[in-house]
Amino acid sequence: MEKILIIEDEHLILESIAEYLQLEGYDCLIATNGEEGIQKAKDETPDLIVCDIKMPGVNGHQVLQDLRDDPKTSTIPFIFLSGMVDKGDLRRGMILGADDYITKPFQPEDLLNSVKTRLEKYSVLKERMDVLRDNIAYSLPHELQTPLVSIMGYAEMLVEKFSDNSDEEAMEFSRAILQAGMRLNKLVKKLIVYQQLESINSDSKAKDLSRGITKVDSGLLSKIANNVAEGFKRRDDLQINLQDASVKIPITYFTLLIEELLDNAFKFSEPGTKVTLNAEKDEDYFELKVIDKGRGMTEEQIANIGAYFQFERNKYEQQGTGLGLDLSIKITKIYGGDFKINSTHGKQTEAIVRLPLAEK
């Protein structure tokens, strides 16, 4: 059922519109002023908004401006209502991005036709954008891999050529090219894995093909953990307490899960502070716990973890796309596990993963 938010300060009109649209099969939310309407739009993310222009306090234009400035609500279809035919109001509304404009008094059928038209257009546009997004997400990383292989290959040849220190500057440039290529290649692989996980999550056949068991021993975990720590030049900061087990997850995704959790822990903690990897099992689950003494996260930040989203980017200089934790969460959930973060802002973060043990 499509959800429509109605923002109107005249109670009789508000109730009449809501009742009429509900009878037509729509789920209606109501707000009696602009400020309340903005909040409900951001909390509920309706499929369409019907809003009066002339309201005390925050008027309709201000409501639309605020919602268009917020990525979460920027594309919601927006229909203006007004008791005054004012070309200035009309022009301003259209400049702000209003989808339609209905003058009071109006026939209920006029409003209904506008609502249906806007919802249909929005549905078609959203479908097209989803297809475009999926195509880009799937095709672009694969297209990037081919030139990256050449870049890294030639960079390695240059590093080898100047390894005798015959040209120190050329050696420095060659290493920089190789490191940049490796960093970009790592990102491309993450994007490909992210798309694979999306497919596994939505396709039962893909989920069947993705099954596997990883025999986890101290040697495997130590190797993964030490490689990540070495990448940050922080081998001495790593503490490991491990227990062997077999878990219901392919080794590729298990390795990536550990790498991303440790990468995140080292990235957001200072050199000289400890990063701990604990692994133990009970009757049904294998529990991994990664603890760092970094800057931590607030409850709001934990709730908003997502791909391509980084916290406090304006405050801290940091690299990456924000994919790491989201990838870890997706892997854990797809393979029947539980993911939890405990954190004290400014002090510590503890990421806990519980994965089902393989059948005996």
> 347 and 225 in one domain?
yes
Helices assigned H by DSSP within the chain: 11-23, 34-44, 60-69, 87-96, 108-161, 168-202, 204-209, 218-231, 251-267, 299-303, 323-334
Same domain, 224 and 349: yes
| Single residue among 204, 232, 253 that ends a domain in this structure | 204
Same domain? 23 vs 102: yes
Residues 63 and 38 placed together within one structural domain of the fold: yes
Question: Partners of 341 in the beta sheet?
Answer: 351
Q: How many domains does the chain have?
A: 3
Look at residue 282 in the predicted model and tell me its pLDDT.
87
The verdict on residue 111 lying in a domain is: no
What is the domain extent for residue 43? 3-106
Task: Please give the single-letter amino acid code of residue 19.
Answer: E
Same domain, 45 and 166: no
Q: Could you tell me the end-to-end alpha-carbon distance of the chain, in angstroms, rounded to an integer?
A: 46
Any domain includes 117: no
**What was the pLDDT predicted at 320?**
44
Q: Phi then psi for 327, rounded to 5 degrees?
A: -60, -45
Q: Which of 143, 174, 204 finishes a domain?
A: 204
Contact between 269 and 292 under an 8 Å Cβ cutoff? The reply is yes
Is 127 a domain residue? no
Which CATH number belongs to the domain containing residue 264 in this structure? 3.30.565.10
Please provide residue 348's backbone torsions phi and psi, each rounded to the nearest 5 degrees: -160, 150
Q: Can you give the pLDDT of all 360 residues of the chain as single tens digits?
A: 899 999 999 999 999 999 999 999 999 999 999 999 999 999 999 999 999 988 999 999 999 999 988 878 888 999 998 876 566 666 666 677 788 888 888 889 999 999 999 999 888 887 777 676 666 666 766 677 778 888 888 889 998 888 888 888 899 999 899 888 887 887 777 777 777 777 666 655 545 545 778 888 888 889 999 999 998 999 999 999 988 888 988 888 899 899 989 998 998 899 999 999 999 988 889 999 999 998 887 877 777 665 444 444 434 444 444 577 888 888 898 888 999 999 888 888 999 999 999 865
**For the whole prediction, is pTM greater than 0.85?**
no
Q: Which of 90, 106, 122 is the last residue of a domain?
A: 106
Q: Going by DSSP bridges, is the β-strand pair 338-344/348-356 parallel, antiparallel, or unpaired?
A: antiparallel
